[in-house]
Every structure is written in C-alpha cells, then in structure tokens.
Amino acid sequence: MRVFLLLLLGCIAGWLTGCASGNSLTGGSVPIGTIDGWVYRSVPLEASTRQAAEVEAVSGITVELVPGSGQVMRTTTDNTGYFIFRNVPKGPVRIRAGQQAALYAEVQAEVERNGDRVGVALMLAPEIADAVASLLITPAAVGNMHPGDEIVFTAQVLTNSGQQVAVPASWALKGEIGSFAPRLSAGSVTPGGLFRATTPGTGRVIAQYKGLVAMAPITVLPAGVNP
C-alpha cells in the first residue's frame, strides 16, 4: 500500500510539473497575440484646396475578427478610430469593417508566435468599376532605413484593361520595427501608408485591396550603420 501511494504521488507530481512547463493534457499552451489598429476613410475637401481628399478616422464602427475556425470576435472603434483585439489565437485571420455593398475594408493578419502584436490600418473604400488583375506596392522594397526615417507607401491595381489605378488599400505591418498609419503623399489624392522606423530589424508592409495582397520587405539598420 505504501509503495502504491508513493507511486501515485510521483505520478501526480510529474503531471503538475508538466502543467507548469506548459505541457498540459491539451498539448501545451496555445500561442496568443494582439491585433490592433485604426479604421479610416478618405473624404473630399473643397475644390479651393490643393488636396482633393484627406484621411479621416471613423469612430463607432464595428470591426470583426474572423478566424479560420471558431467564433467571430467583434469590437467597436473609439473616438479616434482605434480598435484592439486581445488573446488572438495563432493562425491567419481576417479583419473587416463596413458593408460590402458600400464602403468596406478587409485585411488579413496572422499571429505567428506567442506575444505577437500585429498593427493594421483599415481604409474604407468603394468598389472600382473595372475588374482588377493584380495589386502593386510602391516602393516594392526598402533596405536602408534607420530609426527616425519615414517613407510613404502607395498601392496601385492593374486592371484587366491594362490601366494602373491608385487605390486606398488597407495596410498591415508585420515586425516590431516601427509604426504605420494612412497618409497622403505630396501631390496625391489617394491615401497611402506612412511607415516610421523606430527599431532595427526586418519586417514587411502588407497592402490589401478587394482580396488582393502585395508585400514590401523593410530593413531598418542601427543608427550609423549603412548597407
């Protein structure tokens, strides 16, 4: 009997040790992360101004996080257009806002590791009349930025008729190397995305528009280091 109790206590201790190290009966802790960002729209200005549009935050709009499986998560933007989803499980998800029949935005994001934080910028936009063949980002890659540097990315679609049209894409930034927000570049009437480098490392900017995806790699070098 004493031997049996010792064996039983040993098994319980081993099970508790496994739980403490993350090796539970479900196969270990599930990696989770955070996805946050803002919802914007492009609004026209008066004809007397030099710019034809400006970027405006959208408050009080419902934002949905749609996982590959499981329940849809919902939240509402605050008065600055900001939203956040916490405890997002590992794997690809879709973030969407608006109505597909009117102004709508959708972006794909993914939590890859435990503690990941993915920033997105949803730009509400109407459908364009012509069929779209592909999505392009300008610049296509950036490899020599330093903390404090800024650059504006723009997105264009190539239509089936061969036209290249600037579009208000939604954006995601992967990699904790800086911040990202919609911005009008000089002389442009279509919002692009302003990337501001803060931390050395590598990442990628992801533009998405009407189901199309394009990516541009970014490398941020330490201050004083040149390629």
What is the rounded distance in angstroms from the CA atom of residue 85 to the CA atom of residue 118? 10
Query: Computed over its alpha carbons, how large is the radius of gyration of the chain?
Result: 22
38 CB-side CA count, 13 A: 15
The pLDDT of residue 62 is 94
The pLDDT of residue 63 is 95
Topology of domain 32-220 in CATH is Immunoglobulin-like (2.60.40)
pLDDT tens across 187-211, in order? Answer: 444 567 788 899 999 988 888 877 7
Q: How far is CA 4 from the centre of its chain?
A: 55
Is the pLDDT confidence value at 13 over 70? no
Is the pLDDT confidence value at 127 over 80? no
pLDDT tens across 28-46, in order? Answer: 445 688 999 888 886 654 4
Is the pLDDT confidence value at 64 over 90? yes
Burial class (CB in 10 A: 0-12, 13-18, 19+), 208: buried
Q: Which of 4-13, 163-172, 178-187, 209-218 has the lowest mean pLDDT?
A: 4-13
The pLDDT of residue 86 is 93
pLDDT band for position 84 (cuts 50, 70, 90): very high
Strands 73-76, 117-124: pairing is unpaired
Distances (CA, A) of 120 to 57, 170, 178, 209: 13, 8, 12, 13
pLDDT band for position 222 (cuts 50, 70, 90): very high
The residue ranking higher by pLDDT, 89 or 45, is 89
